Structures are given as structure tokens and as C-alpha cells.
A and B are shown apart, each in its own frame.
Chain A
Amino acid sequence: MDAPKEVQPTGEFTCQLCNLTAPYTYYGQKPPYTRSIVLLEESYVMKDPFTPDKDKFLILGSHCSLCRRSVCVGTECSLFYSKRFCLPCVNENLKAFPLEIQEDMDKKKPQEKSSSKKTHTKA
């Protein structure tokens, strides 16, 4: 079968909080897969593995704007609010964030104990 050319991975992305690892093929703000979308942060990106569509990409993570740790975009590890913040940094500076974010963080805490899975599986 004549298969499409593979993009070789540039490296392996690892989330320093949850240890998620995945190969990424691009780091930056203008992923090669799209002409119309621009990222608002420098991100680790791979081709979306869940669709045959070649123009779809998937953002894996980026660096926390405060501590520079590499973190995945999962809601248990980081949040984006005009910039990327890892959750430890958010919690440290919770007061600096708007109420909406603070509430979200409060909601998250009890949940995390009971079933941490839920926040992720529910998109």
C-alpha cells in the first residue's frame, strides 16, 4: 500500500508533573499542519493520532510561564489563562487569579481525592 510519508518525531515530550510521555514533531507557535490556526504559547505538538486527517494536530503541553517546568495540557497538571501555569504555581498564587479560576480550583480539589480520572475522561 502506498502509505503517506511519515513525519519523524523530533523528540519526546514528558510532563514533569504526571510523567506523561509522547513523541512530538513540532515545538513552537505555528504548527506545520495548519495555515489558519496560531498557538498563543510555544507548545509541543504532534499530529493528532486519532484522526486520519493530516491537517489535525494535537497540543501535548508547554512550559509553565512561572517555573518553566514542562507540563502537559491535562487539567490535572496545568491551566491556560492567557499563559500556561502549572497547577502548583496556580495554587501558590491563587489569589492573583480571577474568581472564576479560583472557584474552578476549589471545585477540583475534593474531586481529585474521590476520582481523579473523571476530570480527564470527561471532555
Chain B
Amino acid sequence: MQLQNVTILCFFASYTGALILELTQFLRQSRVLLWSSIALTAAGLFAQTIYLVERSRQTELPPLLASTQDWVLVSAWLAVAFYLGIKAWDRSLSMGVFVLPLALLLVASSRYVSDQPNPRVAISYQWSMVHASFWVFGIFGVLLALVISVMYLLQHNRLKHKKAELPALHLLSLERLNRLNWWLIVTSVPLLTLGMITGLWMSYLSAGSEQPVSLINVAFVANALIWIAMTFLFGWLLVAKNATGRLVAWRTVLACLFLLVTLLTIKFLSADSIHARDLV
């Protein structure tokens, strides 16, 4: 098979199949189906890796810098790789039902965002790489915090309502979920901050170039709002003394949803005049 023939549909189908198999565990626990789900996920990840490598080869840019589409796909790739890593560590943990829908959402979204290479990479390749890495890892951390918070809320709800654990939904303890959530926010927000700072620095560097970046645009305002929202959450987490895990989880979910909706909206509306080829 030619590597160029690998399309987004290939790994989207693999992840969908894996999610369906994961959901069947709620109806009937089966080792075969569980392994099949893991195998499909791994196959999807392999296909996605090939796709990203091939795209990178075509654009002669690393995936993080190639285009908005690649950037979204890298986020999905990280989520799936993280999921498989968790499965290798503890097979009993039910992560698939949380991570796979998120990965599918990102992969599906990638169809609707620009796949054209970012023209401003030329201003400073190194700074672009640093800026993209901070943002992608920051956003990846926030998305993971969303998953962990949803898990926390489900576990909390089960324990408060005194229900027995579903065999297909084995989650981490509240104590660990709360700790993970805290660390994810506390590490993601500085990454997002560094992403903002490097972005501002690149905007300053572009001032004398042929394609200067204006900060008066929707994308910058939206990204700044995301950063402010996450920074508020970060500050509150550090100073709040009597915050319950449930409250932290709810606030994290809201902040993360705000981030996700804002990011995808500006990408869908092609309002990203900073990272896209077509300027508004």
C-alpha cells in the first residue's frame, strides 16, 4: 500500500470502531472485544502517524508547523498515544470511553480547518516551533484535565449515590483524579502562558517583515481570552483553601469546554488570521 493513500478517514474509522467496541463492554464484558478495541486504536494511531509523517514530508515542515489541520491532528495523536500508554500501564482502567470521543472530535474537526502551510514560519523557524509546542502541549494538558474532570464527576456521582462500580467503568480514585487534575492545570497554564509570550515575541519579530502580524484580530483576542480563563482557574487552584474536588472538576470542565469551543469556532470560521495562510 502506498503511504500517500492513508487518509484521515482511515484512522477516523479505526478510532470509531475502537470506541464502539469499548462501548460494547457496558453490555457484555469480553476480553476479545477489549483487545480488539486496543488493536483498532493502535492501528488507527499507526495510520495517523504515517499520515502526519507523509504530510510533514510533503510540506517540508514538522507537523506542528505544517498547518492548522496538522496541528489539530497532532493534538488527537497525543491523546490517543496517551490512552494507549495508560492501557499498557493498567488495562482495567476505562479511559477509552473518554479519550476516544475527544480524539474523534479533533480528527473530525481537522476536516474543516485550513490544511495550508503557515506562511509565517519563515520569520523564525525556531520560535515558531517553540511557540507551537507550548500551545499544543498546553492545550493537550487542558484537554486531559477535561477528561480527568469528567471522570472525577462520574466517580463522585457514583460514590455519593452509593452505586456499585460498573465493571466496564473502572475509574481512578477521587484522590488521584483530583491530584492529576490539579497538576495538569498547574502545568498546562504556564505552557499556555509561554505560548502567549512566544506568540507576542514572534509578532514583534514580524513587525519588520513582509507579513507583519497585527494583534488586533479575532484570533488573538480569542486566544487571549482562553489564556485569561485558564489563568484564573490556575490562580484559584493555587489560592483556594476550601475547594472541594468536585468544584475543581466542574470549573475545569467549564474552562476546558470554553477553550475547546473557542478554538474550534475560530478555526471553523477561518478567523485565525495569525496561523492561517489567508489573511482576514
A and B assemble together = no
